[in-house]
Homo-oligomer: A and B are copies of this chain.
């Protein structure tokens, strides 16, 4: 990858070193702490062996895309109709031979470029919901106005590193063209990295075209500037919508995360060990495809293994088994030698209440302890992914900030040891007025925005607001403080012309 700066960089770069709430931010988390390893060598080998058995005996279906079958056949795999079976160890060997262990995804503001892999973690906002929710207007179908508002809101959150993709599904726009508007909104209203369109080869091509307008074609040819999530249809199927985008991005050298989404008990066995073997098998097959399409294509192993209520069949989140699975996935990805893509503050709750935060906190903490390299849905997700909540976005943002600070580890400097402060203060006195406290209090402790820590009487006098109500005021305050990162007018014009041209080529359609 070249070191060439992006095309037509803005003259005055806004650095990424400070968040709008006055606390220092970094373009991504660089974890100074280790990972929590839930499985030993025996368990990991067992799951890897089982994944190989699944790939060798059951295999995986690649439907509606004959080119893929040819690619696999040429590589010596056993292709039987649309079913592809893999010799034991073939996938792992193929991936390990060429897939990079870590790489950058560049932003148009270089200060916001993110590292994918190693000790880096990149937090992305909510992805996919057709509804939005806020306390003023309740739950409603999302519009493009909501989409733009969310992009701007996310841009004000120092603890998010990525502008994301479908931050909500703008259902007021034609389904076959809205990807163009979404990509434009990310480019126009944020200068952080963003995701490419993920359904089908054609839309992936549009994302690449737009990226070339922003970064320059040469730069895009040499550097990752997009990010694609390519899901399987578990169990063990990949369709052309997904494989088309996967091939397009892989060929263009743009990162692809293959994230098998499963509900244990429905799309995989109802056990953790069984589910993880299946998830690994699916990821191995898809990452192998990416490497066969283009050796050295940047890829991430994805894992989005959720549980379900065995009483009602409803998806459940923040569960013990989901925590176990993401930790296992982290270990499996590290052994494979590729970064891990996974998910964050998931909840089945309908409102930003206690359930939503018990589940969200559990989920994001587990993904961080797993050493995940990119965490999708780190903010805002409610109702099993049907809703992006404005208030939950702010509450989750605090959690993102807490985790960033936590993984910075314990400062062991002489100043942090504070031995002279302890000696000077002595038994029974207090540290509030000590020189050490005065010198350190601004930076010593992380300051989240949504909690109320005041005395009951003060809280009551301020209106007895719960967290969601406070967050309602907060996202509005953030939006008021939103600073437009600006966009070179020439690029803007070129993008708009490109979008208009693409839109004019086909009639609007309200379905995919």
Contacts and interface: CB of A to CB of B under 8 A. Distances in A.
Given A274-B417, A274-B419, A417-B274, A349 B43 contact: no
Nearest to A273: B416
A278 interface: yes
Interface string A8-37: 000000000000000000000000011011
Nearest to A37: B34
A383 interface: yes
A422 B269 contact: yes
Interface stretch (A170-178, A423-431, A475-483): A423-431
Interface string A332-349: 000000000000000011
Given A383-B456, A398-B358, A272 B411 contact: yes
B60 A440 contact: no
A368 B355 CA distance: 20
A270 interface: yes
A246 to B, nearest CB: 17
A89 interface: no
Nearest to A232: B427
Interface stretch (A119-127, A207-215, A442-450): A442-450
Contacts of A403: 320
A369 B36 contact: yes
Contact of A467 (B272, B323, B355, B416): B355
A354 B392 CA distance: 9
A77 to B, nearest CB: 15
A467 B236 contact: no
A452 to B, nearest CB: 7
Interface stretch (A93-101, A148-156, A310-318): A310-318
Contacts of A277: 417-419, 422
A57 interface: yes
Given A417-B46, A452-B348, A440 B365 contact: no
A302 to B, nearest CB: 18
Contact of A410 (B272, B430, B445, B450): B272
Interface string A356-392: 1111111001000100000000000001101000001
Contacts of A60: 427
A286 interface: no
A163 interface: no
A412 interface: yes
A407 to B, nearest CB: 8
Interface in A251-270: 264-270
A310 B324 CA distance: 36
A416 B471 CA distance: 42
B50 A349 contact: no
A451 B355 contact: yes
A321 interface: yes
A105 interface: no
A352 interface: yes
Interface string A35-67: 011110011001000100110011111000000
A309 interface: yes
Contacts of A454: 312, 314
Contacts of A460: 350
A350 B399 CA distance: 19
A397 to B, nearest CB: 11
Nearest to A239: B428
A466 interface: yes
Contacts of A409: 38, 324
Interface of A: 33-34, 36-39, 42-43, 46, 50, 53-54, 57-61, 83, 139, 233, 235-237, 264-275, 277-278, 307-316, 318-321, 323-324, 328, 348-362, 365, 369, 383-384, 386, 392, 395, 398-399, 402-403, 405-406, 408-413, 415-419, 421-423, 425-432, 434, 436-437, 440-442, 444-448, 450-456, 459-460, 464, 466-468, 471
27 contacts: A46-B412, A58-B426, A61-B427, A236-B426, A269-B418, A269-B437, A270-B440, A270-B445, A272-B410, A272-B411, A273-B411, A277-B422, A309-B453, A310-B445, A311-B447, A312-B453, A316-B445, A319-B448, A320-B402, A321-B405, A324-B406, A324-B409, A354-B450, A357-B361, A358-B451, A362-B402, A386-B456
Given A46-B412, A350-B452, 9 more contacts: A42-B412, A235-B429, A265-B437, A277-B418, A307-B445, A349-B451, A358-B395, A362-B365, A369-B369
